[in-house]
A and B are shown apart, each in its own frame.
Chain A
Amino acid sequence: MGLLTRFIFQAVPTLIGAVTILFLLLRMIPGDPAQAMLGADATAVDLARMRHELGLDQPIWVQYGLYLRDFLTGNWGNSIVSKTPALDRVLEALPDTLMLCGMAIVIIIGISLPAGVLSAVRRDSWVDYGVSVAVFLLMSMPQFWLGLLLLLVLSYWLDWFPIFGTGDAGDPLSILHHLVLPALTLAAGFLGLVTRLTRSSMLEVLGREYVRTARAKGLREGVVIVKHALRNALLPVVTVIGLTMGQLLGGAVIVEVVFARAGVGTMIWDAILQRDYPQVQAAVAVFAALFITTNFLTDLLYGLLNPRIKI
C-alpha cells in the first residue's frame, strides 16, 4: 500500500471522529447562536426565524447528518458572524498561527537539544546540575504563570519586547519582535520535557558500544558526540517533538488570546464566544488535519532517520 493511501486511510476516519466530538461538544455548551447574533432584546419571532434559517430547529441527528455531508463534500459553510466562507477565514489566519508554532519549535530545538546534549556529555558537572534545576522549575511551573512572568520581566520591567499584537504587516523585524515572547511562552511548557528526554537519551547512547568503536577509530570527540551519539539519541526525541507540535496548536489558542495576536486560536476563541458554530467547526477541523499531518510527517521522519525501519 502506498504511503499516501495509508495516510488517507488513517487520516480520514480520525478527522471524522474529531469533528464529530467537536459537533457534540459545541451543542452541549449553553447558549444560542440566534440569541448571540440578534442580541438580548430580540423578539421571539425573530429568534425563531433565525433558528430556522440556521437549521437549528431540526433534531440534532439531522443537523449532524447534514453537517457531515457538507463536511465531506467540502462545503464547510459560512461564518454566521461575517457571512464569508468559514474555511477561507481560517486559511487567512493560519500563517500567523503556524509562524507562532514554528517559532516555538525552533526555540524548543534551539534550547533543549544543546542543553540536553551538554548536560549528558558533562554529566554531574555544574552545567548538568544547572540544567536539571532549570528543567525542574520549568516542569513544575504552570504555563500561564510563566507567560505572565515573562511578560512582567521582559516587557513590563525591561521593555525589551512589546506586550501585545502581531506587529506591522510587511515588516519582518517587527513581526519577529512581536513573535518572541508569545513563542517563548508557548515553548516553555515543552522545554523541560524535551531537554530531559534529550539528556537521558544521550546518556543511554553514550554508553553504547558503537560510541566506543567510534572513539577507537580515532575520531574527534565532537564527531563522536554529534555523528555517532546524537544521531541515535535523536530518534525518540524526534517522536516527542512531533507530538509536541500537535499540543502546540492547542497551546497557541491560549497564547494568542493572552497576547492579543491574530491567528486561528483567537478566531476559535471569538467564534466560541459568539456561538459561531460553522467557524469553530472549520477552524478546529483544520487544526485536527494539521495535527494528523504532523504525526504522519513525524513517523515519516523517524523512518528516514532510522535505517532499521522500512517506510
Chain B
Amino acid sequence: MALLDVRNLVTEFTTPAGPRRAVNDVSFAVQRGEILGLVGESGSGKSVTALSVMGLVDNQVGRVTGGNILFDNTDLTALPAAALRALRGKRLSMIFQEPLSALNPCYTIGDQISEAFVAHGDSDTRKNHQRVLELLRLVHIPDPEGVLRRYPHEISGGMRQRAMIAMALAYTPDLLIADEPTTALDVTIQAQVLNLIDRLRRELGLGVLLITHDIGIVAQYTDRVAVMYGGRIVETGPTAQVFATPKHPYTIGLLGSVPRLRHRKPGEKRTRLQEIPGSVPSIAQVTQGCRFAGRCSHSMPQCEQQMPPMRERGPGHDAACYWEGPA
C-alpha cells in the first residue's frame, strides 16, 4: 500500500473567464522510503499539485474539485479541516520554494520552528528549545544558538532554506514534499541539502515528493519520476528507464535541453528548462486534446482532438502520447 496515492486529482482556480484547471486528472503514488521526482517547466502545475495534497490551496481563489488523495489509506479530500490540520506539520510536511517569502519577517527562526511543536500540543518551552537546537544541528546549521535568535532577513539564503527544512522535520513526517528545496542555493549547499533529504529518506523511511526544474537532480536523487506538462502528468516511470528511453516528446525535449548532464562543472549555473520552443499554455486556454500538441514535432491530427490516454511503455513506465516513439 502506497504511503501517498493521488488519484485523478483536479484543482481549479477561479479566473475572470470562469474556473480553470491548473491540475487536471493527475495520478501518482509515493511509497515509503522512496523519492518521487516531479518535473516540468514553470507553470506546469507542480506547486499546485503539492499544495492540493497539503490542503493548502488558497480557498479564496481555488480548490480541489475532483479525485482522491489517499494518505496512509485516509482520503485527505474528505477529511474535516481539524483532522487535516492535525496531520499537517506532523505526519505531512512541506518545504516551500522561496525561503525568504515563506518565512514570517516578524518572528525569529527559533520561534517559527518551535511553533510547530506548540501547534501539536507540545508546549514545554525548555524542551522545545532543545528540540529546535537539535533540528538546526540536524540540517547542519553552524551556530544554532545564534541562528535561533535571528530574524529571517538576518541570515543567508542557504541558512534560511535549512531552517525551512528543519521546520518541516520538526516531527519526523511520513511524507515530505519538497518544492524546489534548492533553487535559492549554490551548488555545494544544494548538494548538502539534497544529501540530507536523501539520508533522512534512507534512515527514517520518509516518502519524498521532490519537485524540481533540474533534470540533473532528478537523475541523481529520485527513484521514480513524473513529468508534468500543462496540468497533467505526461510520462512517469522509474527514473533510470524514463531517462534512458523517454517516450513522450516533451520528456525527450526536456532531456535534450540538458545536453551536458554528466559534465556539468561544479558552480556552473543550473540549466533552466526553457530550450523547448514555445511556452507552457496558460491555464486560461482550454484544449480538447494534448496540451503539448502545439509545440510538438510529432503531433498528429488526433492530438488536437482528444487527450491521449496513459499507455504502458515498459514495466511501470507510462506515457500519454499517440506517437509510438523513435523506431
Contacts and interface: CB of A to CB of B under 8 A. Distances in A.
Interface of A: 123, 207-210, 212-220, 223, 228, 231-232, 305-308
Given A209-B101, A213-B96, A231 B106 contact: yes
Contacts of B106: 231-232, 305-307
Nearest to A305: B106
B199 interface: no
A218 B105 contact: no
Interface of B: 51, 54, 56, 58, 60, 85-90, 93-94, 96, 98, 101-106, 115-116, 119-120, 151, 153, 164, 167-168, 170
A207 B59 CA distance: 11
A61 to B, nearest CB: 53
A207 B90 CA distance: 23
Nearest to B164: A213
Contacts of B103: 210, 213
Contacts of A223: 119
B94 to A, nearest CB: 5
9 contacts: A207-B58, A208-B101, A209-B101, A210-B102, A210-B103, A216-B93, A216-B94, A219-B115, A220-B85
Contacts, number: 77
B80 to A, nearest CB: 13
A218 B104 contact: no
Contacts of A306: 105-106
Nearest to B90: A218
Contact of A212 (B93, B102, B105): B102
A207 B101 CA distance: 11
A218 B54 contact: no
A210 B88 contact: no
B123 to A, nearest CB: 12
A212 B88 CA distance: 12
B96 A218 contact: no
Given A212-B56, A308-B153, A218 B87 contact: yes
Contacts of B96: 209, 212-213, 216
A217 B54 CA distance: 10
Contact of A213 (B58, B85, B102): B102
B205 to A, nearest CB: 21
